Amino acid sequence: MRIESVTLRNYRGVEDRTIEFDDGVTLISGPNEVGKSSIAEALRLIRTKPDSSKAREIQAITPVHKDVGPEVVVVVTTGPYRVEYAKRWRKRATTTLNVFEPSPEQHTGRDADQRYLEILKETLDIDLLEALEVQQGKSLDQPDLAQLRVLQNALGDEESDESDDALMERINAEYEVYFTPRSGKPSKEGRALSDAVQELTRERDRLMGQSQEMQAFVDEHAERGVAIDRANRSIASMEEELAALRAKDKELRGLAESRDASDKALADATERLKRACAARDERREAIAWLERTDAEITEEQSVLDERDADRESAAEARDAAHERARRLEKEQAEVDADLTKLRRALDRHRAVEAVEKLEARVKAAQQADDDVRAAEAQMEAEKVDEGALKRLTKLQQDLRVAEAAQEAAAANITVRAMGDHSVGVDDDTVQPGAQDSRPVIDPVRVTVDGIVEVTVQPGRSPEDLQQGVDAAHAALVRELSKLQVADIAAAQESAERRHRASQAVQDAKARRDQNLDGAELSELEVELARIQAKVSEDAPSNLGESDTWEARIAELDERRTGLVEELASAREELEERRESASEAHTVHASAQAALEEKRRNADQHRRRLTEAREADSDEALEAAVEQADIAVEQATAMRDEQQMALDEADPESVAEELENLEGSLETQEKVRNDARERRSELQGLLRDRERLGIRDLLDDAEAELEEVTQRYERFQRRAAAIQLLHRVITARRDEAQARYVAPFTSEIDRLGKILYNEEMQVEVTPDLHIASRTVDGRTVAFESLSGGTQEQLALLGRLACAQLVDREQGAPLILDDALGFTDEDRLRALGRALAKVGRTTQVIVLTCQPDRYKYLGKAKHVTLPLRGEAVSSGEGVGNDS
């Protein structure tokens, strides 16, 4: 296809402009906004939008302030056709198609559109038309070339046609009914069917379970019925057996009762025998006891007689001892009387001697006592003692000190006797040549006999000194007065006298104490009186000479000591005899009492025995024992007989069997009742289930499941079919596409050499996208290449495609303001490549920077004026027209 010219009228800002294109390269340049892009756009819109279109793109190209519709006219040659296709939108919309070659045709309206498309489809691949256009701003995008049939044909698949695309579309559409397009997972419908099958299967199984459960209830109900019948039969036969057993048990009970009665009778007989034996034994014992006791009494009587003799001899011994003791006591009393008499006489004799000595001592003591009192009276008269004298002397001294102090303070007078005259100073005389010096305390009178008398008057002495002298003087006077002495000398004399009296007191006291010898005088006086009284008693008579008394006393004392000893031993003996006598007496008394008791007791027993014999004779008792013994034997025999009969009947196993049977019967009844209970329960459950109509529900569920299962199976079968078809055909298509890769790649590589002047290789994917570029052994992914390189490679893909496609089937390559990312050197090389492609393919380059394309070789150059109406169609660089 070749575009001869495009005319735009009232198209965006363009009022009317026609651009004619070269068969080879046409470069259309002009500043921005002059409508370069409009040319490419107009070529698209005229083909895709009917004149009635109200699409946004048509609104966009309509002039704003004019009441006119945008209009495009294209003249193209494609295959054998040469046509003029004109379209005006919106205002007076119209479409016309004038076919000039190969034979004239004219179409308008829809017909025109349809015919134009027919012609295009007949002569070229519209996708190629779109693939070879580089729209403004999209220069980095790689074209989708893989599905271009012309390219496929050029690359070796001469059979590929559009029906393949339709087929693939249908297959893909069908595939997407069953599977998701990307992941190939079951579609929503498939999942829904699968879920429905599962859900319905579950529901069916649930209902089936319910149905089976209901049948199980029915079966169990029947089984329980059988069990009840079985139990009833068992119960009937058991009850029969039970009746027989109970009768036997009753009989055995009777037998056991008789045996128990016999037991009782035997026990009674045994008891009676025991009692008879006891009575007989008691009688025998009583007789024996009485005999034994009588013997004992006789024996004990003889012993008692012996005891009586013992008692009497003991009493005699005691009386003898008593007599001896009394005799000794009397003898001792006589000795004691003699001793008393002698000792009294001796005492009187000694008292007479003591009175004389004591009278002398009393007299001397009394004299000394009188002396003491006289001396003490004298001491009392003399007041001055040693202490008082010391005080006085001290006071005298104090006075002298005070006076000396006064003198020291007073004027002093010194009188020297001149010549031979003596001078009188007060009462003293100073011898001639001598001198006298004294203080003037009192008026001092100096006299020279006869010549002169001078009186020196003392000044007034200091008051405190005077007061001191006065006080000392007063104290001295006061003390003297108190001691009743005139002066110190008198005091000293008094003190001397007092000292002498004191010594006299001492002497007299010593004398008195010597006579008293520690006692008081009054005591001595009382003693004296007492002794004197004793002496006044009568002198004893008939006692011989007093100097023998003491010897006689000693002799008597000795004798008395012997008597005392003898008496003590006699008393001891007496005590012993008394005890022996008492003991013998007691022994005898108690033996006698015991014997008497024994006798009474024996008599009592004898009486009882007699009475008992009167009731039952000894012989009767013996006979009773014999009789009871026979009764016991008989009762034992009867009891043993009954026991044996009972043992033979084995009542225990009868009772056991009875118990067992009763238990079994109870068990059977329980079994029956349980079964009955369960049966009513099952009946209830069944009534409950009955209402559900399980069978109907199950039938419905099965029908539904059947239907959905069939649908699902059909679905799956179709899914398997389309999956297989899709897989196989996609694989084959990919293979086919992969086969195009090699020639396409080598074409790009070839063009790449022009561009890069070096060895370059690209890797191309089966869908004919450039995946990577390798230069100098370095491979870089397309996406990682620089913008400029991406742009160049994308263009190379298109160039390769344009180059490969059959010239007759080719479409113009349109570059709208592309290569903005490409540098100067590359632009130059690219110019060469474009020029080379331009030899076989129409190339239209739209740019605002014509400098970029100055190496396009021979090319038609059209410059669009800024808002100009006319088109300056001039000679471009290397333009050949």
Residues that bind other proteins (CB under 8 A): 157, 159-161, 163-164, 167, 170-171, 174, 211, 214-215, 217-219, 221-222, 679, 682-683, 686, 689-696, 698-700, 702-703, 705-707, 710, 713-714, 717-718, 720-725, 728-729, 731-733, 735-736
Q: Which residues contact 543 (CB under 8 A, 6 or more apart)?
A: 341, 342, 345, 549
Residue 734 C-beta: closest distance to other proteins, Å = 8
SS3 439: strand
d(CA 473, CA 333): 92
Minimum CB distance to other proteins smaller for 219 or for 650: 219
**Residue 660: count of CB within 10 angstroms of its CB:** 12
Minimum CB distance to other proteins smaller for 404 or for 703: 703
Minimum CB distance to other proteins smaller for 171 or for 612: 171
d(CA 758, CA 763): 16
Give Cα separations from 182 to 166, 175, 176, 738 (angstroms).
Answer: 20, 11, 9, 21
Q: Mind spelling out the 3-state secondary structure of 523-554? A: HHHHHHHHHHHHHHCCCCCCCCCHHHHHHHHH
**Residue 335: count of CB within 10 angstroms of its CB:** 18
Minimum CB distance to other proteins smaller for 215 or for 586: 215
Minimum CB distance to other proteins smaller for 523 or for 688: 688
d(CA 529, CA 525): 6
Residue 702 C-beta: closest distance to other proteins, Å = 4
d(CA 819, CA 831): 11
Give Cα separations from 523 to 518, 528, 531 (angstroms).
Answer: 10, 8, 12
Residue 66 C-beta: closest distance to other proteins, Å = 50
Residue 699 C-beta: closest distance to other proteins, Å = 4
Residues 388 and 491 sit within 8 Å (Cβ to Cβ): yes
Minimum CB distance to other proteins smaller for 209 or for 544: 209
SS3 425: strand
Residue 165 C-beta: closest distance to other proteins, Å = 10
Minimum CB distance to other proteins smaller for 222 or for 352: 222
**Sheet of 14-20, strands arranged across:** 14-20, 2-11, 71-78, 81-88, 94-101, 105-108
Structure tokens at 528: 């004296």
Vertex 88: Cα angle to 86 and 90 (nearest 5): 160
Minimum CB distance to other proteins smaller for 576 or for 696: 696
d(CA 61, CA 10): 8
Residue 197 C-beta: closest distance to other proteins, Å = 15
Residue 46 C-beta: closest distance to other proteins, Å = 32
Minimum CB distance to other proteins smaller for 398 or for 702: 702
Alpha-carbon radius of gyration of the chain: 92
Minimum CB distance to other proteins smaller for 162 or for 572: 162
Residue 219 C-beta: closest distance to other proteins, Å = 8
Minimum CB distance to other proteins smaller for 525 or for 700: 700
Residue 127 C-beta: closest distance to other proteins, Å = 17
Residue 142 C-beta: closest distance to other proteins, Å = 23
Residue 829 C-beta: closest distance to other proteins, Å = 37
Structure tokens at 239: 């009850």
d(CA 363, CA 356): 11
Where b means 16+ CB within 10 Å and e means fewer, 144-169 reads ebbbbbbbbbbbebeebeeebeeeee
Residue 807 C-beta: closest distance to other proteins, Å = 23
Residue 693 C-beta: closest distance to other proteins, Å = 3
**Residue 61: count of CB within 10 angstroms of its CB:** 25
Residue 810 C-beta: closest distance to other proteins, Å = 21
Cβ neighbourhood burial of 824 (10 Å; 0-12, 13-18, 19+): exposed
d(CA 747, CA 14): 40
d(CA 499, CA 123): 193
d(CA 64, CA 258): 145
Minimum CB distance to other proteins smaller for 500 or for 717: 717
Minimum CB distance to other proteins smaller for 248 or for 739: 739
Minimum CB distance to other proteins smaller for 59 or for 683: 683
Residue 190 C-beta: closest distance to other proteins, Å = 15
Look at residues 159, 151, 160, 158 and name the one whose alpha carbon lies nearest to residue 745.
151
Minimum CB distance to other proteins smaller for 150 or for 862: 150
Give Cα separations from 382 to 235, 477, 482, 502 (angstroms).
Answer: 158, 18, 12, 10
Looking at residue 852, what DSSP letter applies? G
Which helix (H) or strand (E) segment is 415 a member of? strand 411-416
d(CA 743, CA 804): 9
Residue 207 C-beta: closest distance to other proteins, Å = 10
Residues 231 and 675 sit within 8 Å (Cβ to Cβ): yes
Residues 248 and 706 sit within 8 Å (Cβ to Cβ): no
Written as one letter, the residue type at 700 is: D
Written as one letter, the residue type at 396 is: Q
Minimum CB distance to other proteins smaller for 119 or for 694: 694
Minimum CB distance to other proteins smaller for 526 or for 703: 703
Minimum CB distance to other proteins smaller for 208 or for 317: 208
Match 């289930």 to its residue by tokens: 689
d(CA 428, CA 303): 145
Residue 169 C-beta: closest distance to other proteins, Å = 9
Residue 162 C-beta: closest distance to other proteins, Å = 12
